Copies of this chain bind each other. A is one copy, B any other.
């Protein structure tokens, strides 16, 4: 396996083969027939990112999309004063940066690995030609982007219409769906986010998150085991996400 170290990040071509990649069937590239994967395979790069490393940053030029093999990546925006807002956390099988390459603008967000991750980089040039050749791929891209639009509109609703405690309840429910691991009769969040990161996901401060989490714990909705959070009462969280206190 040819490997080259660059920028503190290990790159390699053909470290894995798209044809047999189990991840491919989880995302929009599943629509590509096997014979289309040959040049696809050649134009892609497998990168290994350590926790904390950047995939790209706001202001730089999009050159392709990122397919997350393993690990997790946060996509976030930075405000004038340096405060950050996390738009979304991407996990295994998900494609990152699709909209950016089609909007033909510089990145307006940054992406950072929040776990050690293996991520394939697929060049624009090894991907655009397939769009007109395989209408199904184009349709998959359209569906993918449409989903993203709907999800973001929901985020806007939550940010604009809900209070901090409702937003935190929403966040916990979302984390449960995406990163929940059943344990006895309850669910443990397998993704240990810091209070700061949680705050950056719901547009508030770490202090507020801490206080509200404690409030939820007193109400028996969650249990706090240090950085790990256990969801005890999903129904209660749903109520908390909708109702005023």
Chain A residues packing against B (C-beta within 8 Å): 77, 79-81, 83, 85, 87, 98-105, 108-109, 131-132, 135-136, 138-139, 141-143, 145-150, 152-157, 159-162, 203, 242-244
Report the bound CA distance from A161 to B108 in whole Å. Answer: 14
Question: Cβ of B242 and Cβ of A80 under 8 Å apart?
Answer: yes
Q: Contacts A85-B160, A145-B146, A161-B77: A154 and B108 contacting too (C-beta < 8 A)?
A: yes
22 sample A-B contacts, Cβ–Cβ < 8 Å, listed by A number: A77-B156, A77-B160, A80-B242, A80-B243, A101-B146, A102-B145, A103-B146, A108-B150, A109-B153, A131-B138, A132-B135, A132-B138, A135-B138, A138-B138, A138-B142, A141-B142, A142-B142, A145-B145, A145-B149, A148-B149, A149-B152, A155-B156
Q: Contacts A132-B135, A152-B152: A99 and B160 contacting too (C-beta < 8 A)?
A: no
Report the bound CA distance from A149 to B161 in whole Å. Answer: 20
Question: Cβ of B141 and Cβ of A131 under 8 Å apart?
Answer: no
Give the chain B neighbours of A160 by CB distance below 8 A: 77, 85, 159, 203
Give the chain B neighbours of A244 by CB distance below 8 A: 81
Interface SS majority for chain A: helix
Total copies of the chain: 2
A160, closest chain B residue (CB): B203
CB distance from A21 to the nearest CB of B (A): 23
Residue among A102, A150, A153 with the most chain B CB within 10 A?
A: A153
Question: Cβ of A161 and Cβ of B85 under 8 Å apart?
Answer: yes
Q: Contacts A77-B156, A152-B153: A146 and B99 contacting too (C-beta < 8 A)?
A: yes
Question: Cβ of B157 and Cβ of A103 under 8 Å apart?
Answer: no
Report the bound CA distance from A136 to B132 in whole Å. Answer: 8
CB distance from A128 to the nearest CB of B (A): 9
Question: Cβ of A85 and Cβ of B139 under 8 Å apart?
Answer: no
From B100, B131, B161, contact of A139 by CB (8 A): B131
The 6 closest A-B pairs by CB, nearest first: A160-B203, A132-B135, A79-B161, A102-B146, A99-B149, A145-B145
Give the chain B neighbours of A156 by CB distance below 8 A: 77, 85, 87, 152, 155-156, 159
Give the chain B neighbours of A157 by CB distance below 8 A: 77, 79, 85
Q: A87-B153, A132-B135 are in contact. List 8 more A-B contacts (CB 8 A).
A: A77-B156, A79-B162, A85-B156, A102-B142, A132-B138, A141-B142, A142-B142, A159-B160
